[in-house]
Amino acid sequence: MTEFIRRRTKNAKNDILSGLTVALALVPEAVAFAFVAGVDPLVGLYAAFMIGLITSIFGGRPGMISGATGALAVVMVALVAKGNAMGAPGEQLGLYYLFATVILMGIIQMLAGIFKLGKFVRLIPHPVMMGFVNGLAIVIFLSQLGMFRDANGDWFSGSQLWIMVGLVVLTMAIMFGLPKITKKLPEALLAILVVSAIVIFGNLDVATVGSFIRDGGGEGLKGGLPTFQWDIFNKVPFNLETLKFIGPYALILAAIGLIESLMTLNLIDDLTETRGNSNRECLAQGGANIVTGLFGGMGGCAMIGQSLINIKGGGRGRLSGIVAALALLAFILFASGLIEQVPIAALVGVMFMVVIGTFAWSSFRIMNKIPKSDLFVLFLVSALTVIFDLAIAVIAGVIVSALVFSWENAKRIRARKRMKDDGTKVYEIWGPLFFGSISAFNEKFDAKNDPENVEIDFVEARISDHSAIEAIFNLVEKYEAEGKHITLKHLSEDCKVLLYKASPKFKHVIVEAVDDPRYHLAANPEDFPKPLSEYKL
């Protein structure tokens, strides 16, 4: 028992300190995303607390941080606006439609976990992963540039700009230099504390977390515990019309949330050289979104920036995420005044260091070493992540990669032709037979001019899909229409099952009792005086 406790708590200090750093970084992010979605800052903060706590305890990736995210907030804008338009002025009906949508989103995500759909993240190619990382780093960088504007949207200038830049650079310098001196102190947390002390004791007039919230229209961080939203059931009619309205939004949000979470999980797996559980993460994300919808949160998913802050800060276990969530709640309840004094410049500096650590700089080094198609996918995913969102970028990248793979494999179909002594023409097929290679496959045959007997040997080929079945069926019919005898040989068992299910005609065309020539032993029988079964092969 003591060994179990020791093993579980050996990284406790790093987890706690890293969790506190993450909590500080979560505040402006959650507030900003709430403003993007058009809801009160507390809705974003509650989401960050509830989703962060539940996924840290039950999720499939210890050390990963979840909360309100910009990718989801962008989709929520239209939902909230349309919902508000359906109610009376000031009723905030859009907010309750948002809560209902988040609950449905969570149900969809849990179903993905139950049906073990999380494993499909393995189908994401490496160029897509690199493009996602690079695009996300650019998105994080661009989002931080907005912090260099005042409440009117004008860029900082003069001393205001130079003080902001100086504090950002100082934060980055501390984070860069401290690990070279000692790795026992959390560089991000220490950098935030040092820069905050300089601002407070130096009485510098700079943007802080408090001014950021007030400039956005909020009244501050002060709030209570999240409460159950009974008004969801009173204000949102649970009927088919509501489902038609919120269903598409819930589906999009669920897809974006799962893709972002599972790709972040993969990234952290690579960084920590451990393996998370994708299906468990789907279940945890879904459950967290159901709870946050019922208790007044805006929903969320894994946060790449905060997750990387946590990992770089030494956070490896579930404790780091739990501490981050509970510290965030404590800030809301008890320490709102202190947190509001933290300069935005310190948090921007932390995020800039995250950008540097996130971007796959190796992608420049390998540009001339990888296929041009992979390079195109990498740039495409990066660009789409910046222009649209993560879900569109990843789906587009996977589709393009799949099409490139299909095209390359379609060119590999081969047919070696030879004649037997009895005048039978043999076509030995090599390569995969699927929708992409059907055209090339059909071009190999000449039914009109071939002899009376034709064999098609599939010893080095596989029938992969319905298009391949149709192609073979049409080929058989073409030869039979010419009055010629055709047979199919050396089909694998699974391929034969496919053809037999497709048409009874194949029962008369496929030759069953044929040995696979690949398994014949090239040896002299005299070398084996005993039966082969007696030899240990």
Q: Which long-range contacts (CB under 8 A, 24 or more apart) does 140-149 make?
A: 140/304, 140/305, 140/351, 140/354, 140/355, 140/358, 141/352, 141/355, 142/386, 143/32, 143/70, 144/348, 144/351, 144/352, 144/355, 147/207, 147/212, 147/344, 147/345, 147/348
Lowest mean pLDDT across 81-95, 238-252, 321-335, 454-468:
81-95
- Sequence letter at residue 184: K
477-522 pLDDT, tens digit per residue, is 999 999 999 999 988 888 888 899 998 888 889 988 655 555 444 4
Structure tokens at 113: 């976990």
In this predicted structure, what is the pLDDT of residue 36? 67
In this predicted structure, what is the pLDDT of residue 34? 79
Lowest mean pLDDT across 40-44, 414-418, 439-443:
40-44
294-345 pLDDT, tens digit per residue, is 999 999 999 887 898 898 888 888 999 999 999 999 988 888 777 788 888 9
CA 30 to chain centre: 20
Question: Please, what are the domains in the chain?
Answer: 2-360 (no CATH), 414-519 (3.30.750.24)
Rounded distance between C-alpha atoms, residue 518 and residue 284, angstroms: 49
